[in-house]
């Protein structure tokens, strides 16, 4: 005879599994601040598999990138991304770049990582599935996920799309991360991202 507790656990397990499954298939582009960040599995630039669930309990920054985009090139030339990643890595923040550029391959991501001496992975999303799921519009487009797996910020790096105010621009990502470490709610939780359009496949 099957024990009641086993059946209860089985039902609960099915409910949890179905909930996770549904997260993966959230309506594309409909994500907002406060929503659970959809789980995904992508390969990095060397082909190693990376799952968002690997970083459960940690703060994660997702940075949509495209090595061909002049906005991305500018941020890497000025060291915006690397400096931010280094500063917050010490506090346990995980930084993942995602390349949803349809005409690229892992080789280009690897070359970009090496050329810029990046300490973090560039994940391959050339079919654009994860990009569309998150509603990533531009490169760069940043998402900050808190320790509970919720999106607490999404949008631009800073308030300087033309790159004319380096040194005096306000960095939204840093502000969001600082708020998390100070146990405060993120004041500017959403901004209009700027950059090249994510080069999704037609």
Partner 1 sequence: MRMFKLASTYLALILFFGVGLSFAQEPVKVLFVADRQAVSPGGALQIGALFDVAEGWHIYWLNPGDSGLATNVRIEAPSGVTVGPLQWPIPEEFVQPGDLKGYGYQAKALLFSSISGVAKEAIGGKLEFAVQADWLACRDVCIRGKDEGKVVVGVQEQVESDVSIEFVNAAKNLPLDFSGCDASCQDKLPFEFESVSFEGSNLLINSWVKWKGSPMVVSWIPYPLKDVTPKLVSISDNPKSAQVQFRLKFLDKAARNGDFSALYIFEDQNGQRVGYKMSFPLSTQKTE
How many residues make contact with partner 1 (CB under 8 A)? 28
- For 33, the token pair is 């601040």
Q: What whole-number distance in Å separates Cα of residue 52 and Cα of residue 36?
A: 12
Distance of CA 164 to the CA centre of its chain: 26
- For 154, the token pair is 């999404």
**Which residue number, 46 or 187, has a Cβ lying nearer to partner 1?**
187
In the complex, the smallest distance separating the C-beta of residue 130 from partner 1, rounded to whole angstroms, is 12
In the complex, the smallest distance separating the C-beta of residue 2 from partner 1, rounded to whole angstroms, is 48
> Parallel, antiparallel, or unpaired for β 121-124 and 94-99?
parallel
Q: Which residues inside 126-155 make contact with partner 1, applying CB under 8 A?
A: 128, 131-132, 137-138, 155
- Which member of 70, 79, 92, 119 binds partner 1 (CB under 8 A)? 70
**Which residue number, 53 or 127, has a Cβ lying nearer to partner 1?**
127
195 scored as a contact of partner 1 (CB under 8 A) = yes
> Parallel, antiparallel, or unpaired for β 151-155 and 141-145?
antiparallel
23 scored as a contact of partner 1 (CB under 8 A) = no
26 scored as a contact of partner 1 (CB under 8 A) = no
- Which member of 162, 167, 182, 185 binds partner 1 (CB under 8 A)? 162
DSSP conformation letters of 103-137: T--HHHHHHHHHHTT-SSEEEE-TT-HHHHHHT--
DSSP conformation letters of 33-44: TTSBPPP-EEE-
Q: Which residues bind partner 1 (CB under 8 A)?
A: 29, 68-70, 102-103, 128, 131-132, 137-138, 155, 161-162, 188, 190-202
């Amino acid at each position: 005879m099957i024990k009641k507790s086993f059946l209860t656990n089985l039902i609960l397990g099915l409910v949890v599994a179905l909930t996770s499954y549904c997260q993966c298939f959230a309506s594309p582009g409909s994500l907002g601040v406060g929503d659970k960040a959809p789980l995904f599995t992508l390969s990095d630039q060397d082909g190693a598999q990376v799952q968002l669930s690997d970083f459960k309990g940690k703060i994660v920054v997702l940075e949509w990138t495209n090595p061909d985009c002049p906005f991305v090139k500018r941020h890497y030339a000025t060291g915006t991304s690397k400096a931010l990643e280094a500063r917050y890595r010490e506090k346990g923040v995980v930084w993942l770049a995602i390349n949803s550029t349809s005409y690229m391959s892992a080789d280009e991501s690897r070359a970009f990582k090496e050329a810029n001496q990046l300490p973090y992975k560039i994940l391959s999303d050339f079919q654009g599935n994860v990009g569309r799921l998150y509603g990533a519009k531009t490169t760069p487009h940043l998402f900050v996920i808190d320790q509970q797996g919720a999106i607490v910020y999404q949008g631009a790096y800073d308030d300087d799309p033309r790159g004319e105010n380096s040194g005096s621009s306000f960095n939204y990502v840093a502000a969001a991360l600082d708020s998390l470490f100070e146990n405060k709610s993120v004041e500017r939780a959403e901004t209009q991202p700027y950059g090249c359009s994510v080069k999704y496949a037609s």
